[in-house]
Copies of this chain bind each other. A is one copy, B any other.
Amino acid sequence: MAPKYAPSLRSRLAPFLLFLQIGFVVVYYFYIEIESNVNGIKFSNFYPVFQDLNVVVFLGFGFLSTFLVRYGFSGSGFNLLIAVIGTQWALLLNGFESWYYRGKIRIDLNSLVVAEMCTASVLISIGAVQGKTNPVHLILMALLEVFGFVLNEWLLQTLLPVRQLNFIMVLHIFGAFFGLVLTWILCRTESFQGFEKEKLDRKTGLFSMLGTVFLWMFWPSFNSILMEERRLSAVCSTYLALAVCAVASVALSVLSSPKGKAHFQSCILAGGVAVGVSMPAIRYPWEAMTTGLAAAAVSTVGFQYLKVNHMLFAFECHDTCSVLSTHGLPGLLGWLIQLVLQIQQCDDHTMAIRFAVFHIDALLITLATSLTMGFLTGVLLKWDIWRPPQDKKCFDDQAFWKFEHLAVRK
């Protein structure tokens, strides 16, 4: 007979977290200092966008996954936990070079932003394994994925003579494929019958809608935050792509549903993903809008047909939050659109080929690192020592959170 309660994480989670956090404090004691030479006006101008990013990372990604009726607390709570661990870890790894040459790492708003962007790729991956993992899994995953992400960045900058890294591209594609490999390795037989507690209801759906709307509104900030120039263009392009994507998602989901019903929650963000990835090549509004339209098509089709039929049964890959159709496919689409547009914009034939080679190499390196790291992480997480939740306890807040005054009858 299966045990009645989920295995207690007391002996695993608490020491691990304390060890990690005290370790961070010690390392920060020796190596981290806050930038003292601050330009007041630049700070004031950047601060609101930094707060928009916080809303995207801590609130948006967290509440996006509250649609699961019994997993809302874990969805939003673990998101916050992983985000802060990942950010502290990424601050260290990103400062490695500075530490190597100067012995100290100086942080400012910009380093916090870059660190949160690295962490965002972890939050994307979590979407794929949501509900089937415990917090110990998620923390290990965060540490390894941020490491992989920074490694991939280093590889790209070392192997390819690119002047500017397309951070947004790496973030979505790395995050999505890492998560997919991971969920493929962690696949359980229960996935095929459907988990007992993987359900949504109206009200938790509204929380998820709230998270989606916040992500949707602040996506222009997310796409433009690391740009020094052309910020207006990035904001307007993202805005238009998201607008088109919202309209097209409704149209296409109604068209592909036999009863003519709509669904748009995860798909309306696809436009922002695709346009963010292809941003360096976007010059005109119609390019952004067409990208949004294509992303909506890819994402809606992916959501309707790939998720259950192909992803689950053909590839044994249970993707809780449809990471493939929200980040993976639109990311690849954006990559493709950037390729086509950039080649068109090149006057010179040699330049075009040169660009294409680098662009394709960047994708291949990112995919390779992502899949390798995802595979290694998956193998590590399969180990029983981390006490994975039993099938019946998947998607259940009760296993992790204390509800003291919880009403007996809901």
Contacts and interface: CB of A to CB of B under 8 A. Distances in A.
A243 B84 contact: yes
Interface string A326-341: 0000000000000000
A314 to B, nearest CB: 20
Number of copies of this kind of chain in the complex: 3
A305 to B, nearest CB: 13
A392 B108 CA distance: 53
Given A76-B206, A202-B397, A49 B52 contact: no
Contacts of A404: 200, 263
B232 A28 contact: no
Interface in A240-262: 240, 242-244, 246-248, 250-255, 257-262
Determine chain A's interface SS by DSSP, over half rule: helix
A10 interface: yes
A13 to B, nearest CB: 5
A405 to B, nearest CB: 5
Nearest to A45: B44
A54 B55 CA distance: 14
A383 interface: no
A184 interface: no
Interface in A28-71: 28-29, 32-36, 38, 40-41, 43-49, 51-52, 54-55, 58-59, 62-63, 66, 69-70
Contacts of A257: 10, 402
